[in-house]
Structure 1
Amino acid sequence: MDPTATDATEGKGPLIFGRVLDGKGGARPIGREEVDNWEPSAPGEVLWLHLRRNAPEVQPWLENDLGIPEPTAELLVSDSTRPRALREGEALVATLRGINFNPGAHPEDMISLQLWSDGTRLITLRKLAMQTPRDVVALFDSGKGPTDAGSAVTAIVEQLVVRMNQTIVDMNEQIDLLEEMDVEEEYEEILPKITAIRRNCLALKRHMSPQHEALDWISRFAPAWFEDHDRREIAESIDRLRRYLDDIDISKESALVLQDELRARSLASNEHATYMLTIVAGIFLPLGFLTGLMGINVGGMPGLDDAQAFWIVVAICLGIMALQLFLFWKWKWL
C-alpha cells in the first residue's frame, strides 16, 4: 500500500487517524471531536492518535487539550530526529527512525516517528508519509492487533525494524547482479552503483545504530505499564536490529571487495596495455633508428645505385625484429 495515497484521503488536519483499542486485539475509529474529552468506557481501552508533526495546530493541541507538558510537546514536534528514549513520570517519550519507502526516496532517507504514551493514551507523530503505523492499524482492523499500549509500542517498533530487511535484501540482490556483469565492458556502469550501495550502507548504519541504544533504554527503563512480555518483545527487536546492522556491514564489505576487484582489474588492464605499448616501442625503436639513418640526404650513402639495396635493408630490419622477439621471449618479457 502506498502511504501517501492513504494519507491524501485523510485531509490536511493534524489527525491522520485515531483508534480506541478494545483490549482484545480490535479497535474502533475515533474522530477529532471525540478525542479531547475521551475517557476509557471499558477496562483495557487505550486511545491511539497518529498525528502530522508539521501541522501548525499540533503543539497547542498537545499542550492545551491532551495535557502534555510544554517541553515534551516541543520535543514531539521538533525536527530533532536522532533516535532516543526518555521517561517523564509514568509516560514514555521516544524518537525512532524508519526506512523511507515514499516514491523517489532513497533507502538512506530515514523518516522519524515521535512517540508518547502514558499507558492509557498512545500518540505517534510523523512528518512524511509512513507505512508502519498503517500496518499496525491493519492488525487492529482485522481483530488481531495488540491488546494494550505496551504491546502497541512493541508492534510499532517491530514493524520499523522488520522493514529494514527488505532494503538489505534489495542491496544484496543488487550486489549479486553486479558481480555477474562483465567488468571490463561495463566498468563505468558498475562502479557508480557500487559507490551508491556503500553510501547507503554507511547512511543506514549511521542512522540506525542510535536506534539500538534507544530500544535498549526502553526495554530496561520503560514505566511499569510496559510489561515484562513487552520488554521481551523489545529485546527480540533489538536482536533483530543487531542482525540487520551486521548484515549491513556484510553488504558494505561485499561492495568494498567488489569495488577493489574492479579497480584491480582495471589497473591490470591498464598495466597490460602500457606493457604492450612498451614492447612495441622497444621493437620499433632500433628499426626507426636504422630507417632514419638510411634516409638521410647526404652523399656517399651505400646502395643508391643498387636496385637490390631496398630489399637488403628490409631483410636487415626483419632480422633485427626476429632477434628482438627471440631475446624478449628468452628474457620472459613476452
Structure 2
Amino acid sequence: MTPDQLDDEADGAGDRACETPLLYGRVLDGKGGGRRIDWAEAQGWTPKDEEEVLWLHLCRSRPGVQDWLESDLGIPEPTAELLVSDLTRPRAFREGDTLIATLRGINFNPGSEPEDMVSMQLWSDGRRVVTLRRLPLQTPRDTLAEIDAGHGPTDAGALITSLTEHMIAHMNTAIIDMNQSIDEMEDAGPDGGTEEVLEEIARIRRESLALKRHMSPQHEALEFISRGAPDWFEPHDRREIAETIARLSRFLDDIDISKESALVLQDDIRARSAARAERTNSLLTIVATLFMPLTFLTGLLGMNVAGIPRADHPLAFAAVVLLCAVILVIQLALFKRWRWF
C-alpha cells in the first residue's frame, strides 16, 4: 500500500468512525526502517531499546487529540492548544528538552491553489515525534515512503530533518510551474490574447506574493531549529537544516525573480497595447483631418439655398470633384512633409 493510499484510507476510516486521530504511525528501528504501530499501542508507548523512536502522524481536528497530548505526553495545556489550533504562522520554540514547531507546505490538494498553504504542527522530545495536520499534506507521505522502503530517517532529529527537506523541496514544483507559464507567455508574444495573458500574470503575481508572505516566516522557524533545538538534535541534523534553509533562501529568491519577470511582461504587454492604441488614434486623427476641409466644402456647396454660382452648369459636379481631389493631394503633401505618417 502506497503512502497516499494509506493516508486516504486512514482519513476515510477516521472520518466515518471518528475512533482515533491516528493517520499512520511508525516505530523507527534506527537503521532507516520502521514497523507499523496502531493507536492502541501508541498510547503509553515506551522504547524497547535505545534506537527506537516513535513517530505518530495525527489529524488534529479529530476529537480527543488535545486531551491525549496533555495526558499521555505531558504537554502543557497552552502548548497542546497551539498544536491543535488553526494558528498556522510558521514558528519554532523549545520547552526544556522538547521542540515545538509550526511549518507550512504547498497545498497540492484537488481544487486548491499552491498559495493555499497547508500547516503541520510538530512536537518532539527526542524519543517521540508527533506531527499534526488538518488537511492532507504530501510531506509526511514522502518521509513515510522512505521509512517503508528501509532508507528513511534513523532518529528523531533525522526525521524532523526529512520532513522539513521534503516540505521545502515541494516549493520547487510551484516555482517551476510559474516560470514555465511566464516562458510560455513570453514565447507567445503579441499574438496571445491580451486579457487572458494579463489574467495569468495577475494570478502568478498573487501566487508569488502569497508564497513569499507565507514562506518568509518559515525561514526564521528553521533557523531557530538549526540554532536552538535541544541537544538530542545532533550536529549533522543542524547541518542538514542549514542546507534546507539555504535551499529555501534560493527558492524565495526565485519567487522574487518570477514576480519581477511577471511584472516586466505585464509592463511590456501594456506598453504594446498603449502603442497600438496610439497608432490607431493617430490614424483616426489623420483621416478626420483629411476629410475635414472636404466635408466643409461639400457641405457648403450642398446647401439647399438659392444663389450658388454655376449650380446649373453641366461641368459643375466635375469641377467640385476636381477641387476636392486637389485639396486632398495638397493635404497629403503637407502631411508627408510634416512627417505625420
Q: Pick closer, same or farther for the CA change 1:39–1:6 going to 2, 3 Å.
A: closer
Task: Determine the C-alpha separation between the residues in 1 that align with 2:107 and 2:221.
Answer: 19
Cα deviation, residue 189, structure 1: 1.3
| Corresponding residue number in structure 1 for 2:17 | none
Aligned 1:1-334 pairs, distance under 5 A: 6-10=6-10, 11-12=13-14, 13-183=20-190, 186-334=193-341
In structure 2, give the amino acid aligned to 1:8: D
The answer on whether the counterparts of 2:3 and 2:142 sit within 8 Å (CA) in structure 1 is: no
Separation (CA, whole Å) in 2 of partners of 1:310 and 1:235: 91
Q: Deviations over 1:3-59 (max 9, x none)?
A: 775433112130000100011111000011111121111221100000001112111
User: What is the SS of the residue equivalent to 1:9?
Assistant: helix
SS at match of 1:172: helix
Distance, in Å, in 2 between the alignment partners of 1:183 and 1:59 is: 57
For residue 182 of structure 1, report the CA deviation from its aligned partner. Answer: 4.4
Specify whether residues 157 and 219 from structure 1 end up closer, same or farther in structure 2 by C-alpha distance, changes over 3 A only. Answer: same
- Using the TM superposition, name which of 303-312 and 2-11 deviates more: 2-11
Question: How far apart, in 2, do the equivalents of 1:74 and 1:251 lie?
Answer: 38
Distance in 2 between residues matched to 1:103 and 1:2, nearest whole Å: 19
Give distance in 2, aligned partners of 1:199 and 1:294: 62
Contact 1:4 1:129 in 2 (8 A): no
SS of the counterpart of 1:19?
strand
Q: SS state of the match for residue 181, structure 1?
A: helix
Contact 1:3–1:102 (CA under 8 A) maintained in structure 2: no
Aligned counterparts of 1:151 and 1:70: Cα–Cα separation in 2? 27
C-alpha contact 2:4 2:141 (8 A) present in aligned 1: no
8 A Cα contact 1:53 1:127, kept in partner: yes
The one-letter code of the counterpart of 2:273 is S
Contact 1:14 1:53 in 2 (8 A): yes
2: CA distance between counterparts of 1:254 and 1:320? 51
What is the rounded CA distance, in whole Å, between the counterparts of 1:185 and 1:323 in structure 2?
41
TM-score, with length taken from structure 2: 0.96
Taking structure 1 as the reference length, the TM-score comes to 0.98
Q: CA deviation at 1:183?
A: 2.4
Q: Quickly say closer, same or farther: Cα 1:245–1:2, change in 2 above 3 A.
A: farther
Cα distance in 2, alignment partners of residues 144 and 238 from structure 1? 23
CA contact (8 A) 2:3 2:145 kept: no
- Between stretches 278-287 and 33-42, larger displacement belongs to 33-42
SS at match of 2:190: coil
Alpha-carbon offset, residue 188 of structure 1? 1.4
Number of residues paired by the alignment?
A: 334
Q: Please give the per-residue CA displacement for 1:183-215, whole angstroms capped at 9, x wherever unaligned.
A: 255111111001000000000000000000000
Change in Cα spacing, 1:62 to 1:136, as seen in structure 2 (3 Å) is same
Letter in 2 for 1:9: E
CA distance in 2, matches of 1:68, 1:176: 50
- Structure 1 counterpart of 2:327, one-letter code: I
How far 1:265 sits from its partner (Å)? 0.5
TM superposition shift of 1:120: 0.3
Q: Percent identity?
A: 61
Specify the code of the residue in structure 2 equivalent to 1:83.
P
Structure 1: unaligned runs, 5 residues or longer? none
